[in-house]
Structure 1
Amino acid sequence: MSIVMGIVGILFTVFLAWIASSNKKIAFKHWKNIILLIILQFVVTFLFLNTTGGQTAILALANGFDHLLGFAREGATFVFGDLLTNAEGEPADVFLFNVLIPIIFISAIIGILSFTRILPFVIKGIGFVLTKVTGMPYIESYNGAASMMLGQSEVFVSLKNQLPKLSTQRLYTLSAQAMSSISLSIVGAFFTMLDPQYVIIAIVLNLFSVYIIVHIINPYDEVVEDGDVEISTNPEKGKSFFQVLGDYIIDGGKIVLVVGAMLIGFIALIGLLNQLFLLIPGSSLTFQDILGYIFMPVAFLMGIPWAEAQTAGSLMATKLITNEFVAILEFIKVAEGLSAKTQAMLSVFLISFANFGSIGIIAGSVKGLHSESGDKVARFGLKLVYGATLVSILSAVIVGFFY
């Protein structure tokens, strides 16, 4: 049954991408690459979930981040002191301390890797490999690798000289890649909230899923020749080591403040809306209940059991209208009551920046580098969220095959 529903899920996702395609006649022009990418997704998921080597790799990454989070706690202890422990002397169960503060330290590590050119070298290498399997030009392939590691704002910096030369179609692909990923700086935060294996699988699957979706929803009816395109792989050029380190630490602090502020605001607003809906005479449904029923058919066609589709739909909608952190916190509350399959699919679905708030972040980031390109991104903002959400759906469907 899982295989049948999985096939239905893939066909359903492809259909949703096709009906929004900018050129339906050539939507499947790269069908060979699409099939190859789907096969790679199955192979990667199988290796991570069903082989000793894959599980060992996941465990090693999880342990590595655990050690890094331990070092982050040392810095937090110096600043916050006894606030980090409860009356029994154990670590306090405070979201700010356990999830957000470590982002600052992880950002510092990323700054060091960027300054030493290690991270740009890795991104460029992965981008080169992707050109061989995706059917996309080098800029799109490079950006896919960069989006997997950098934030949705920072990823465009290395392409700032290319942005004025890119068509609207190519800008859509770059933006979809940025919205369908997460940044390395917050991977550790997700590791503390979700099963690490699903975080890692989601990062890799989204990398492939975004090419599948953009091939269909945003096909290029043009021959793109990038040639020896110049992409900046040393954005920190001219800065000293401590300048770079300080910049990344401050950027990490900004992320903590922004995420914290958004969580306070969104969770409070959801609570208010839930209460307002309950005040309607004869109503026993909250705002999130209604969202769940709206998205329930989508969740079911993805392969989530009907009995759990309403809960899953509510979480999917919560992510779309708020952000991934809010949705994950809601997911944690109900996870134990869901089947292993639904837990796995939702965990993968929630790992991306696909939400309405990201439209402004991406459009603003591009506009800061090239005004006209930023205006183009803003114009296709809704279609961008639609495509990025389909990326998350496809990745979740692939994982569902294995349960």
Structure 2
Amino acid sequence: MDRLVGLLGIVVLVGLAWGISTSRGRFPWRLVLTGILLQAALAMVMLRDTPLVGVVDAVSRAITAALDASQAGIAFLFGPAVSNPGAGSWGFMFLVHALPKIIFMASLMAVLYHLGVMQRLIAALAWLLQKTLRVTGTEALATAANVFMGQTEAPLCVKPYLERMTRSQLNLVMTGGFATIAGSVLAAYIGMLGGEDPAQRAMWVKQLLTASVISAPAAFVLAKVIVPETESLPDESDPRIAEPEDPAANLFDAAARGATDGMRLAINVAAMLVAFVSLLALINMPLGALGRAGPVEGWLGAVGIERLNLEAVFGLVFAPLAWTMGVPWEECRFFGRLMGEKLVVTEFLAFQTLAEGIHPPDGGPGVSDRTARMAAFALCGFANFASIGIQIGGLSAIAPGRRKDLVQLAMRAMVGGALASWLTASIAGMVMPV
């Protein structure tokens, strides 16, 4: 029954996007239906027992093997701390296991880009999107790049076209960045969810890889509902991936540059977590005091909240939406908390909360397997308030003439990216095996 409820979630999420549309009279019916069907088809192929699932499993095993190889560098740097990660301290485990994997994956992605592997993968996915959704080559290329690269690196693939894009196309570029994750941070999420179990790591690689791929058509659907095309499309003749202005001299240079970029990203992630977790604790102090007030405490008890904090508020606010997505009602508050943490704080904190829900520190029963996998799909994206500034800054640097449009579109694009991730979770929840 919960699987069928996911159909309601699809309608609700698309309806929310239509509610903030800049032109409600231009609803792209064909694109919406085609995009949702493409998402469902890709999810079936990648998650179900189909002839092509062997390819997905092989890719998942290859990524898992690459992550296992990163342990050599981590063990060299941290020594015994790798095998005894802080006696269950999540912060220390994240520092020792997750952040170094970001550096390794960034280096590996840079090597693959230098060898031309990433360009071929991006071009293949762009071709699929262009042929099935009947969108422009530039739009398909930008969205496909977001599946494999970060929200500020992917637009570099279409840098020559950014200045003359329509507002609808520009919104799609931004929404795609918010709706997907970078390959470099994929490793951190896998380490948090899978821990030291090779089978669990391989399973989460497959789930997150699928989430990232099928979020691409979701980004198209929601972006075009929110900002429909109302302008004449610019001329484009066989758009190709733009070459980097300062390419790596050789394979070793590419690996070194990637490691440096990964280090910056890892430091940025660590800094954001320190700041946002501390701010969350600060906000929870007055909320906790308010929750202990007589009348408020009674009302909270009536709705099943033992302690008032921001996490409880997130759970209460987003629980109804989580239910429409197909989450069992008894787990909707936990799922809603994850949605709120990811949207308001950062996806890294939400993934940590999910990891604790899967493996409770007190040894109690964890969240159900289906809900955990749906949550991973819902969290697989950069849509949060902090990312708005990152996107505006990154895109303004490569398309300074569009800064005004970027600022105006940013909030809608971020909401569109969040809705796209949730739409992906709804569809995945309907088709994933029991």
TM-score scaled to structure 1, two decimals? 0.92
Shift of 1:15: 0.9
Which amino acid counterpart does residue 34 of structure 1 have in structure 2? Answer: V
2:268 is matched with which residue: 258, 263, 266?
A: 258
Match of 1:16 in 2: 16
Match runs of 1:2-401 below 5 Å: 2-28=2-28, 31-51=29-49, 53=51, 56-86=54-84, 94-194=93-193, 195-228=204-237, 230-235=239-244, 239-241=248-250, 242-280=252-290, 281-282=293-294, 283=297, 284-335=307-358, 336-401=365-430
Shift of 1:80: 2.7
Provide closer, same or farther for how the CA distance between residues 338 and 239 of structure 1 changes in structure 2, counting only shifts above 3 A: closer
C-alpha distance in 2, partners of 1:131/1:347?
27
Shift of 1:52: 5.8
Contact 1:363 1:375 in 2 (8 A): no
Contact 2:226 2:412 in 1 (8 A): no
Shift of 1:180: 0.8
Provide closer, same or farther for how the CA distance between residues 26 and 392 of structure 1 changes in structure 2, counting only shifts above 3 A: same
Cα deviation, 1:257-298, whole Å, max 9, x if unaligned, reads 111111122222223333332122244322210121111221
C-alpha distance in 1, partners of 2:217/2:15?
18
Contact 2:326 2:429 in 1 (8 A): yes
Match of 2:362 in 1: none
Provide closer, same or farther for how the CA distance between residues 45 and 159 of structure 1 changes in structure 2, counting only shifts above 3 A: closer
Contact 1:206 1:392 in 2 (8 A): yes
**C-alpha RMSD over aligned residues:** 2.4
C-alpha distance in 2, partners of 1:127/1:226?
18
Shift of 1:21: 1.3
Cα deviation, 1:313-352, whole Å, max 9, x if unaligned, reads 1110000011111001011222353333322221110111
Shift of 1:230: 4.9
SS of residue matched to 1:320 = helix
C-alpha distance in 1, partners of 2:247/2:346?
36
Shift of 1:375: 3.1
SS of residue matched to 2:223 = helix
C-alpha distance in 1, partners of 2:370/2:64?
26
Contact 1:137 1:225 in 2 (8 A): no
C-alpha distance in 1, partners of 2:120/2:327?
39
Cα deviation, 1:199-225, whole Å, max 9, x if unaligned, reads 122112201111111221121023425
C-alpha distance in 2, partners of 1:291/1:64?
37
Provide closer, same or farther for how the CA distance between residues 82 and 380 of structure 1 changes in structure 2, counting only shifts above 3 A: same
Identity, % of aligned pairs?
26
Contact 1:27 1:218 in 2 (8 A): no
Provide closer, same or farther for how the CA distance between residues 36 and 363 of structure 1 changes in structure 2, counting only shifts above 3 A: same
C-alpha distance in 1, partners of 2:331/2:37?
28
SS of residue matched to 1:51 = coil
Shift of 1:139: 0.8
C-alpha distance in 2, partners of 1:136/1:236?
27
Contact 2:179 2:420 in 1 (8 A): yes
C-alpha distance in 2, partners of 1:331/1:87?
19
Provide closer, same or farther for how the CA distance between residues 87 and 129 of structure 1 changes in structure 2, counting only shifts above 3 A: closer
C-alpha distance in 1, partners of 2:57/2:346?
27
Provide closer, same or farther for how the CA distance between residues 226 and 245 of structure 1 changes in structure 2, counting only shifts above 3 A: farther
Match of 2:196 in 1: none
Provide closer, same or farther for how the CA distance between residues 141 and 125 of structure 1 changes in structure 2, counting only shifts above 3 A: same
C-alpha distance in 2, partners of 1:285/1:254?
36
C-alpha distance in 2, partners of 1:87/1:390?
36
C-alpha distance in 2, partners of 1:125/1:383?
28
Task: Give the gaps of 5 or more residues in structure 1.
Answer: none
Cα deviation, 1:231-277, whole Å, max 9, x if unaligned, reads 44421655411433322110000111111111122222223333332
Contact 2:160 2:242 in 1 (8 A): no
Task: Give the gaps of 5 or more residues in structure 2.
Answer: 194-203, 298-306, 359-364
